[in-house]
Structure 1
Amino acid sequence: MQTTTLSFSNIHNHGELFANLFRARKQSFIVQKNWDLPEAEGMEFDQYDTPQSRWIAIHDLGQVLAGFRLTPTTASCGIYSYMIRDAQKGILGGTIPQDLLYGDAPVDAQTWECTRVFVNHSVPQMLRRKVHFNMVDAMTSSARDVGASRLIALTAGNWERWYGRCGLDAEAIGRKMWIDDGHFQCVSINLAAKMH
């Protein structure tokens, strides 16, 4: 099992991995969850897939097992910044409630947003815990590489049950809410203790 952090400046070094990550996102979010998201050529994408972001792929023998995207909270591209902030500002048309945070969405060089988190549905249950631990390690090392000490995420409402098991120091920064197919909540993940 390998972990690769992809960016626009290094995707040429990784063959089909970048495209395969977006294909796996389509499988997870459009096919499995039935979310109404943009797609082209068998890949899911959105307005936050810009050179400002990083994509982390957990993969083995060419198959993407899991992945996520990191975007700086200082990002700006046209009218968009990052998903949580844009939802709070009402830019996303109400697909995510505007009152998703207790306070204002941060704009801070040391805070990055973690989105499009998934584990491929074909990963056997006996490997999922290992995949989750690899994802946490990748979050920490990727955050360190970009100078982040905190991540924010809109995550499944049952996050407390598995974040602790994975060694993540997190707290709720917004209310639980129903979106599409389940309960979700914004959390802040403190990575400072893992940065050594």
Structure 2
Amino acid sequence: MQTTTLSFTNLHNFGELFANFFRARRQSFIIQRNWDLPQADGMEFDQYDTPQSRWVAVHDGATVLAGMRLTPTTASCGIYSYMIRDAQRGVLGGSIPQDLLYDEAPVDEHTWEATRLFVSHDTPQAIRRKVHGELVRTMIACARDVGATRLLSLNGECWPRMFSRCKIEAEAIGRLCWIDDGYYQCTAINLAGKMH
């Protein structure tokens, strides 16, 4: 098992891994969860998959076991910034409610958004906990590399148990809300203590 942080500047070093990452996202979000998302050539993507983002992959060779995307809250591409903020501003016009946060979504160079977290349905149950731990460890390392001290995330309602198991310091920053296939809640993950 390996972990890799992909970016537009290094993707040429990893062969099919970047494309396989988006194929695994399609399988997880479009096929398994039946979400209505953009897709092409068997890959799921959206307007936030830009050179400003980073993608964390847990993989076995070119087979993606799990992944997630990190985007700076200072991101800007046309009318878009980052998913949670754009949902709050009503830019998305979709199933994510505008009142998902208690306060205004931040724009701060030390705050990044963590989204599109998935574990592939093909990942064996016996190693899922380890895969999830590697994903979190690499997410924190990537955040440290880009200077983030805080991550915002929209998580399933089981986030307190999951974060506690991974020893992540997080707090709810929005209400529990139904989105597509379940209850989700925005959280803030404090990385300041993990920066040393």
TM-score (norm 1): 0.99
Equivalent residues in 2 for 1:180-195, closer than 5 Å = 180-195=180-195
Look up the equivalent residue of 1:57 and give its one-letter code.
A
Q: Displacement of 1:61 after TM fit?
A: 2.7
Q: Displacement of 1:94 after TM fit?
A: 3.5
Structure 1 stretches of 4+ moved >4 Å: none
Q: Displacement of 1:124 after TM fit?
A: 1.3
Aligned residues: 196
SS at match of 1:90: coil
In 1, distance between residues paired with 2:94 and 2:75? 21
Q: What is the RMSD of the two structures over their aligned residues, measured on CA atoms?
A: 0.6
SS at match of 1:184: strand
Q: Displacement of 1:125 after TM fit?
A: 1.3
Q: Displacement of 1:151 after TM fit?
A: 0.4
Encode CA deviations 1:140-188: one digit per residue, 9 max, x unaligned: 1000111101100011011011110011100000000000000000000
Aligned sequence identity (%):
70
Q: List runs of 5+ in structure 1 lacking aligned partners.
A: none
In 2, distance between residues paired with 1:28 and 1:105? 27
1:130 is matched with which residue? 130
Select between 158-167 and 83-92 the one with higher mean Cα deviation: 158-167
Encode CA deviations 1:33-81: one digit per residue, 9 max, x unaligned: 0000000000000000000000011001321000000000000000000
SS at match of 2:183: strand
1:139 is matched with which residue? 139
SS at match of 2:104: coil
In 2, distance between residues paired with 1:129 and 1:192? 25
In 2, distance between residues paired with 1:176 and 1:85? 16
In 2, distance between residues paired with 1:12 and 1:69? 18
Q: Displacement of 1:135 after TM fit?
A: 0.9
SS at match of 1:164: helix
Q: Displacement of 1:132 after TM fit?
A: 1.0
Q: Displacement of 1:97 after TM fit?
A: 0.1
1:160 is matched with which residue? 160
**Aligned pair 1:15/2:9, yes or no?**
no
Encode CA deviations 1:110-152: one digit per residue, 9 max, x unaligned: 0000000000011111101101110111111000111101100
